[in-house]
């Protein structure tokens, strides 16, 4: 939300821009115009509702990116890329023979996979709200993955499709 001072600045800029085109505009008319642009009935209403100053900064979080532990790069790639259909966003190693840190994503879901000791504990469970769970089920069944053929289970909160990676982690895809 903008402050009352920012609205007044908008009115001053509006007047200045009109002067460039030799169109005179009173300050009162500029204030009324700004109030209407901001969605208020008139300037009196706007000035009564708009805060006097900018509101204090608000703590805001972006989406979380889970980190899952992996122990074997080839198995991780087979499961997450080949079976689940994720794509690699980035790969990082401090040196060629050191552990891999891998960023993967698919249609808005981002995961980080790490071989680094201490980054995550094996056996984590992710709960992933999603849409079109039946399409995901059909896709996974069609791949004929040798280590799992997950089914959709109806729960009280929605349909759940749970997969288990080779490192003991579970991903529960859920659709309301």
Fold for domain 67-175? Answer: 2,3-Dihydroxybiphenyl 1,2-Dioxygenase; domain 1 (3.10.180)
Which sequence spans correspond to the domains of the chain? 4-49, 67-175
Q: For 98-111, how does the pLDDT look when each residue is reduced to its tens digit (9 = 90+)? A: 999 999 999 999 99
d(C-alpha 43, C-alpha 20), whole Å? 24
Between the two ends of the chain, the Cα-to-Cα distance in Å is: 33
Q: For 114-123, how does the pLDDT look when each residue is reduced to its tens digit (9 = 90+)? A: 999 989 988 9
Extract the residue ranges of the chain whose pLDDT is less than 70: 54-56
Q: What is each CA distance from 17 to 31, 63, 73, 158, in whole angstroms? A: 14, 41, 61, 56
């Amino acid at each position: 939300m903008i402050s009352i001072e920012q609205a007044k600045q908008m009115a001053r800029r509006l007047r200045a821009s009109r002067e460039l085109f030799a169109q005179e505009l009173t300050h009162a008319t500029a204030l009324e115009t700004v109030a209407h642009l901001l969605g208020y009935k008139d300037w009196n209403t706007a000035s009564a509702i708009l805060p006097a100053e900018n509101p204090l900064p608000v703590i805001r979080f972006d989406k979380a990116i889970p980190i899952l532990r992996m122990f074997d790069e080839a198995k991780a790639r087979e499961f997450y890329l080949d079976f689940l259909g994720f794509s690699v966003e980035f790969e990082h190693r401090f040196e060629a023979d050191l552990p891999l840190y891998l960023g993967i994503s698919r249609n808005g879901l981002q995961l980080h996979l790490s071989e680094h000791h201490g980054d995550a504990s094996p056996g984590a469970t992710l709960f992933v709200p999603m849409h079109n769970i039946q399409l995901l089920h059909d896709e996974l069944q069609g791949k004929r993955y040798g280590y799992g053929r997950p089914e959709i289970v109806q729960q009280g909160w929605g349909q759940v499709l749970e997969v288990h990676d080779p490192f003991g982690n579970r991903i529960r895809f859920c659709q309301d």
